[in-house]
Amino acid sequence: MKKDIVSQSSLSRRSLLRGAAGAGLLLSAPGLIGRAHAQSGDAIRLGAPFHRTGIGASYGRWYERTANAALQLINEQGGINGMPVEMIVEDDGTDPKRGVEVMEKFATEHKVDAVFGHLYSHVVAATAPRAGELKMPYFLCSEAHTLASGAFSRYCFQPSITDVKSQVVSMAPWISNNLGKKITLIYPDFNFGYDHRDNMTAAIEAQGGEVVASIAIPPTETSFTRYMPKIPFNTEAIYHVMVGPAVLTFVKELGEHLGKNRPEIFGFIDSLEGVDMNIPQLEYLEGTYFWEAMPRYAQANQTEFDKFFREKVGVDSNGASLDDPKDIATYAHMFSVWETLFAMKAAMEKADYKGPDQKIDFLEAMESITGFEESNEFPQGDKLFNGKTHQSFGHQNISKVTDGKLDVVYRTTIEETLYPDETDYTQMSF
Amino acid sequence: MDIAPYLLLATLEGLVQASVLMLTALGLSLVFGVMRVVNVAHGEFFMVGALIAWACGVYIPGPPAVGFVIGLVVAPLFVGGLAWFADWAVLKRINYNPEGTIVSTIGMLYIIQQFALLTFGPDARAVDAPFYYTIRTPWFGYSSYKLFIIVIALALVAGLWFMLRRSKVGLLMRATQFDKETAQNFGIPVDKVYSAVFAIGAMLAAIGGVLVVPNQQAHYLMGTDPLLLSFVVVIVGGLGSIPGTIAAAVLIGLSDGLLSVFFSPTLAKIVSTLLVAIVLVFKPQGLFSGKGARA
Amino acid sequence: MSLHSTEISSVKAAKAAEAEKGKDRFMIIHNGRLFALSLATLSVLFVLQFALSDYLVLALTRILIMSIFAMGYNMLMGYTGLLSLGHAMFFGFGLYAAGLSSYYFGTSLPVSFVIAIATSLVFSFIIGLLALRTEGVSFMIVTLMFAQAAYLATLYFSKITGGDQGLTLPTDARSFSLLGANFDMTSDVVRFNLAFGIFAVVLIFFFFVTQGPLGRLFTAVRENEPRTQMLGFDTYRVRLAAFTLSGTVCGLAGALYALMFGYIGSAFAGFHYSIEALLFTLVGGPGTLLGPLLGTGIMTMLIDRLSGITTAYLIIIGIILIVVNMWFPKGILGTIRERWVPWLK
């Protein structure tokens, strides 16, 4: 038996050496290729760190599809300033440390012109400072208020999706006028939830309403029944922003607890992105309301731009993949990838951008942009872009669940989403 | 709500959590007790069980109960097979070396989790409960399926208990646990016992996964929490001690439910993890075992 | 070589070393070959910054910091034989101690660094006092529980820590001057050389610890605790020394990470990082001086390269883990030591 082991292991050693040599080749090759590529100035190269794995994976997948569709369109239309656009995708595992590493990889190995596509706020918070240090233009497709609050640098922009603060500010008047003035907040027990809690509490009080209970739930929770008794009986409207995979359980248990005599319910679609609305587990949501940045279901008054966008990305009128009706898109967020690419294109064209030497021109051009028209390039709607805070402001939608679909009942004006500037990036140096 | 019905609700919730925990922790405990192996991939067996339950629920026509029952049979068989294979392909070859096993099972964790992401996708998916009836009290509504979980878990544990104490297989297992060398000398096929124990441990986790899915949802990252909690239960209950594991599962399930009535849930979790640590520090053999061997 | 003989020799050596402590042998370098190898490794690492591409230098910076973390872990797990599943708490502790002091009190970076090391020392000593009352699997779980509580605490006190989203250090915390020289943390060159310098200090320090009397005591406890006890050593104290040393060095690594990359967040205190320390150490070779560096380097570059090629990289890593573990159960350097190069420890 002993002999057996020895002979086996010597064989292994040999094959392992061979494996090691292969691994060495594997490790060195991409670095070499990277360097060879980087010399050419005949294409615009964009780094795309997507959440391919980890907790953000269902968003990441659709962000990637949307980006591919937008790039194909841009290249069909002749690229940017006559140059084709290439995209290099790296997986950041929805992990802050890996996010930073990938940013470094884009800056020093792939030598890209700009980086775009990060969503989860903790990854963004870790990566943004490095982007500034590496002097890499960094375009967020997140909703975090951190950028507009002045915490990042002049290299970071959010040209498409509106931040949490203005989403909440624009929802509060409608909620207090239509659903009720005594609100119970249910939110995840981390920063994203606190943003909602703090902004919503202030906004609803400004409307003469009152928050009767604030229920924080840890993000790892899988069962919610025991939190339900904390909802006071005098609640007129429940405001929920649960994120994470357990949301269906949350809805089901909310239904079991409250039964038919429920208060009004308003939620953020973030909870149900990528989830089919028309399943038995979500029946309880019938007649409740959701915030959507972009309506998942094609509306009766669908714009030609929305139609165009759906067709190019491959999404049907129910917000599902054309190939598989069970594969639901993260439709309320993913437009931001599309629009961000076209915003970058607009700024690059304005600066007549040819390569990294003109980085500063490109960024200043971005800051000088004041807004975007509703178009194929900006299918979510027209936008106001604030060059000082680097943040975009657009229309928000409130949709009601009707027959397992989301029907838009109110679309805010852009003015309703505005709040006073909290920073001025143009005063900072590059 | 008044405090009394609130406590009742928290207790019920705690018991449901305790039941699932009992199954997964018993699996871990059995593996640890007999084989002295710490299986880090245990939570992934739980997850695979849940995914199979989802697949059965979706692809098998008929009322949800049919898919559920089939899932309850297929999931443990499949997962048991998977575990058997993993034991044969990996653990046997490293001779169950304790540290080596931890690394290998971390490797399995990565493989299973990533494979689930590739096939099942990143989204959480829900399964219909086999029956749906909400018990209405004056203060709250409660799902009857959750009570059913408690019953099933108790039945399974009773079955396991009977198998270990009364059947020949159980005798072989206990003999192996007690003294591996002597058992071998008496002609007990220790190798086969090990494979069987590893498979049975995984099957218990898989059943836990199937039971939990109509209640929660299937998701490829769902295995981490049960793993951590099962670890805690196994240790607090005393390594390899089955009555201890059961008692610890109830204790931890209940305390988790009740603490969050009085504290902020995150604070409650901090308090309960620290309590577990302190119990271990001052009573290293676990709360429920008098003597117990040194691990 | 049989386990038994190593065990006896290491206990004997510990005893002998103890007896002659403080005498003329104190300055003698035991295991000169390993010392030479360490110096050679350091020179290669230093020269690499001129040979590698920009990105690989950045990656190497990170590898050096994570290696310090793994080396700290190795001190406990590899040399003393205590397997902890909660070392992310020490990494996180150093990270927060350094990051929060410069975020809230505006202390200069070297001061924050020293504060972090000093508080990590106290913290790991206290945790050690408690955790070391247990052993084996209980010890694994106790460390895991403490780490879990620490992780949750970073979330619970998110008003201070920034919780999950974390905190970004302000610009004035990105450079410092020391002894007249100005160090800019946003410069890749400065950062690499600083990381290298601190790594070198830790490596040399660990060489003297592991090859000296204390290290032999650690090994003696690992190989046969009752016998070490019988020889008159208070093994609880020995383990406590190893634990504190290990925790402090992991805290140092965390502080270094926070100050060099300017971001602190709860993810760094999570379970995943405890597993990483374990993984790096096990792959490289527990109980070898250079193993953690090798393990960290290999695993980091593997993840980095594979993630660019396929999303299934974790499957490949899983397979590599299993395969390496089957053929090199003692880690790469551990196996080499066992079969060919006995002085590699």
Does the beta-carbon distance from C165 to A122 stay under 8 Å? yes
| Residue A7: predicted pLDDT | 38
Residue C28 to chain B, least CA–CA distance (Å)? 34
Q: Which listed CATH number (1.20.1740, 1.10.10, 2.40.50, 1.10.3470) goes with B3-282?
A: 1.10.3470
**How does pLDDT run across B45-98, given as a tens digit for each residue?**
999 999 999 999 888 888 888 989 999 999 999 999 999 999 999 999 888 887
Does the beta-carbon distance from A226 to B142 stay under 8 Å? no
Predicted confidence (pLDDT) at residue A414 exceeds the cutoff of 50: yes
Distance of alpha carbon B36 from alpha carbon B33, whole angstroms:
6
Does the beta-carbon distance from C55 to A144 stay under 8 Å? no
* Exposure b/e, B224-260, CB count within 10 A at least 16 = b: bebbbbbbbbbbbbbbbbbebbbbbbbbbbbbbbbbb
Residue C221 to chain A, least CA–CA distance (Å)? 29
Residue B139 to chain C, least CA–CA distance (Å)? 31
Is some CB atom of chain A closer than 8 A to the CB atom of C251? no
Residue C329 to chain B, least CA–CA distance (Å)? 6
Distance of alpha carbon B205 from alpha carbon B46, whole angstroms:
5
Does the beta-carbon distance from C315 to B111 stay under 8 Å? yes
Distance of alpha carbon C150 from alpha carbon C90, whole angstroms:
9
| Residue B103: predicted pLDDT | 79
Q: What is the mean pLDDT of residues C192-217?
A: 94
Distance of alpha carbon C88 from alpha carbon C94, whole angstroms:
10
| Residue A398: predicted pLDDT | 96
**What is the interface pTM, i.e. ipTM, of the complex?**
0.83
Is some CB atom of chain B closer than 8 A to the CB atom of A24? no
Q: What is the mean pLDDT of residues B243-272?
A: 82
Residue B245 to chain A, least CA–CA distance (Å)? 22
Q: Which residues contact A238 (CB under 8 A, 6 or more apart)?
A: A183, A184, A186, A231, A254, A263, A264, A265, A266
Distance of alpha carbon B99 from alpha carbon B117, whole angstroms:
27
Is some CB atom of chain B closer than 8 A to the CB atom of C278? yes
Which CA distances in Å does B277 have to B270, C133, C136, C237?
A: 11, 11, 14, 21
> To the nearest whole number, what is the mean pLDDT of chain C?
87
Is some CB atom of chain B closer than 8 A to the CB atom of C307? no
Inter-residue contact A257 to A251 (CB < 8 Å):
no
Of all residues in chain C, the percent with pLDDT exceeding 70 is 92
**How many Cβ pairs within 8 Å bridge chains B and C?**
122
**How does pLDDT run across A47-81, given as a tens digit for each residue?**
999 999 888 888 999 999 999 999 999 999 999 99
Which of C162, C311, C326 is closest, CB to CB, to A91? C311
Predicted confidence (pLDDT) at residue A182 exceeds the cutoff of 50: yes
Distance of alpha carbon B100 from alpha carbon C331, whole angstroms:
10
Q: Which of C56, C164, C296, C336 to mutate to test the interface with A (most CBs of A within 10 A)?
A: C164
Which of C135, C153, C319 is closest, CB to CB, to B107? C319
Is some CB atom of chain B closer than 8 A to the CB atom of A275? yes
B157-163: long-range pairs with CB below 8 Å, 24+: B157/B22, B157/B23, B157/B26, B157/B246, B160/B26, B160/B204, B160/B242, B161/B242
**How does pLDDT run across C314-334, given as a tens digit for each residue?**
888 888 888 888 888 788 898
**Alpha-carbon dihedral B162, B168, B173, B175, rounded to 10 degrees:** 120
Of B265 and A96, the structure prediction assigns the larger pLDDT to: A96
Closest CA to C279 of C258, C300, C264: C300
Residue of C nearest to A147 (CA): C168
Q: What is the mean pLDDT of residues B192-210?
A: 92
pLDDT band at C341 (very low <50, low <70, confident <90, very high): confident
Does the beta-carbon distance from C311 to A52 stay under 8 Å? yes
Q: What is the 3-state secondary structure (H, E, C) of chain C?
A: CCHHHHHHHHHHHHHHHHHCCCCHHHHCCCCHHHHHHHHHHHHHHHHHHHHCCHHHHHHHHHHHHHHHHHHHHHHHHHHCCCCCCCCHHHHHHHHHHHHHHHHHCCCCHHHHHHHHHHHHHHHHHHHHHHHCCCCHHHHHHHHHHHHHHHHHHHHHCHHHHCCCCCEECCHHHCEEEECCEEEECCCHHHHHHHHHHHHHHHHHHHHHHHHCHHHHHHHHHHHCHHHHHHCCCCHHHHHHHHHHHHHHHHHHHHHHHHHHHCEECHHHHCHHHHHHHHHHHHHHCCCCCCHHHHHHHHHHHHHHHHHHHCCCHHHHHHHHHHHHHHHCCCHHHHHHHHHCCCCCC
Predicted confidence (pLDDT) at residue B171 exceeds the cutoff of 90: no
pLDDT band at A31 (very low <50, low <70, confident <90, very high): very low
Instruction: Show the tokens assigned to C128.
Output: 């050690």
pLDDT band at C5 (very low <50, low <70, confident <90, very high): very low
Predicted confidence (pLDDT) at residue A184 exceeds the cutoff of 90: yes
Closest CA to A159 of A292, A362, A336: A336
Which of B10, B117, B136 is closest, CB to CB, to A53? B117
Domains and their CATH numbers in chain A? 40-162+336-394 (3.40.50.2300), 164-292+397-415 (3.40.50.2300)
Does the beta-carbon distance from B280 to C135 stay under 8 Å? no
Q: How many CB atoms lie within 10 A of CB A270?
A: 25
C221-227: long-range pairs with CB below 8 Å, 24+: C221/C80, C221/C81, C222/C79, C222/C80, C222/C81, C222/C287, C223/C3, C223/C6, C223/C7, C223/C10, C223/C11, C223/C81, C224/C7, C224/C11, C227/C7, C227/C11
| Residue C326: predicted pLDDT | 86
Residue A197 to chain C, least CA–CA distance (Å)? 13
| Residue B258: predicted pLDDT | 78
Predicted confidence (pLDDT) at residue A347 exceeds the cutoff of 80: yes
**Alpha-carbon dihedral A230, A235, A237, A243, rounded to 10 degrees:** -10
Which of B124, B143, B265 is closest, CB to CB, to A221? B265
Instruction: Show the tokens assigned to A183.
Output: 């609100």
Predicted confidence (pLDDT) at residue B256 exceeds the cutoff of 90: no
Q: What is the mean pLDDT of residues C186-209?
A: 94
Is some CB atom of chain A closer than 8 A to the CB atom of C175? no
Which of A55, A256, A328 is closest, CB to CB, to B221? A55
Does the beta-carbon distance from B110 to C136 stay under 8 Å? no
Predicted confidence (pLDDT) at residue B239 exceeds the cutoff of 80: no
Structural domain boundaries in chain B: 3-282
Q: What are phi and psi of B171, to 5 degrees?
A: -60, -45
Does the beta-carbon distance from A128 to C301 stay under 8 Å? no
| Residue C14: predicted pLDDT | 54
> To the nearest whole number, what is the mean pLDDT of chain A?
87
Which of C55, C188, C311 is closest, CB to CB, to A105? C55
Q: Is the dihedral of CA C221, C225, C228, C232 positive or negative?
A: positive
**How many Cβ pairs within 8 Å bridge chains A and B?**
92
Which subunits count as partners of chain A given 3+ CB pairs below 8 Å?
B, C
Is some CB atom of chain A closer than 8 A to the CB atom of B11? no
Q: Which residue has the tokens 């769902």?
A: B222
Predicted confidence (pLDDT) at residue B276 exceeds the cutoff of 90: no
Residue C190 to chain A, least CA–CA distance (Å)? 13
Distance of alpha carbon A210 from alpha carbon C1, whole angstroms:
75
Distance of alpha carbon C311 from alpha carbon C323, whole angstroms:
20
Interface of B with C (CB under 8 A): 32, 38, 90, 93-94, 97, 99-100, 102-104, 106-111, 113-115, 117-118, 224, 228, 231-232, 235, 239, 264, 266-267, 269-270, 273-274, 276-278, 280-282, 284, 294-295
Residue A139 is which amino acid? F
Distance of alpha carbon A398 from alpha carbon A411, whole angstroms:
6
| Residue A41: predicted pLDDT | 61
Q: What angle do CA C295, C298, C299 make, to 5 degrees?
A: 80
Of A37 and B2, the structure prediction assigns the larger pLDDT to: B2
| Residue A34: predicted pLDDT | 39
Distance of alpha carbon A412 from alpha carbon A399, whole angstroms:
11
Contact map slice: A 342-381 vs B, CB within 8 A:
none
pTM: 0.84
Residue of C nearest to B231 (CA): C141
**Burial of C104 (C-beta count, 10 Å sphere; 0-12/13-18/19+):** exposed
Inter-residue contact C299 to C293 (CB < 8 Å):
no
Is some CB atom of chain B closer than 8 A to the CB atom of C82? no
**Region of poorest pLDDT, from A227-241, A306-320, C131-145:** C131-145
Chain A CB contacts of C309 under 8 Å are 30
Going by the DSSP 8-state scheme, the letter that residue B287 receives in this structure is: S
Q: Cite the DSSP H helix spans in B187-295.
A: 190-212, 224-236, 242-262, 265-282
Closest CA to C296 of C71, C46, C79: C71
Chain B CB contacts of C318 under 8 Å are 106-111, 114
Q: Which residues contact A6 (CB under 8 A, 6 or more apart)?
A: none
Of all residues in chain A, the percent with pLDDT exceeding 70 is 90
Which CA distances in Å does B45 have to A172, B112, B129, B193?
A: 45, 8, 21, 19
Crossing angle (nearest 10°) for helices C271-284 and B98-120: 120
Predicted confidence (pLDDT) at residue A37 exceeds the cutoff of 60: no
Q: Which residues contact B242 (CB under 8 A, 6 or more apart)?
A: B26, B29, B30, B33, B160, B161, B164
3-state SS, residue A288: coil
> To the nearest whole number, what is the mean pLDDT of chain B?
84
| H or E element in which residue A290 lies | strand A289-292
**How does pLDDT run across B102-144, given as a tens digit for each residue?**
878 988 998 999 899 889 888 788 787 887 777 777 777 788 8
Q: Which of A16, A89, A101 to mutate to test the interface with C (most CBs of C within 10 A)?
A: A101
| Residue A3: predicted pLDDT | 36
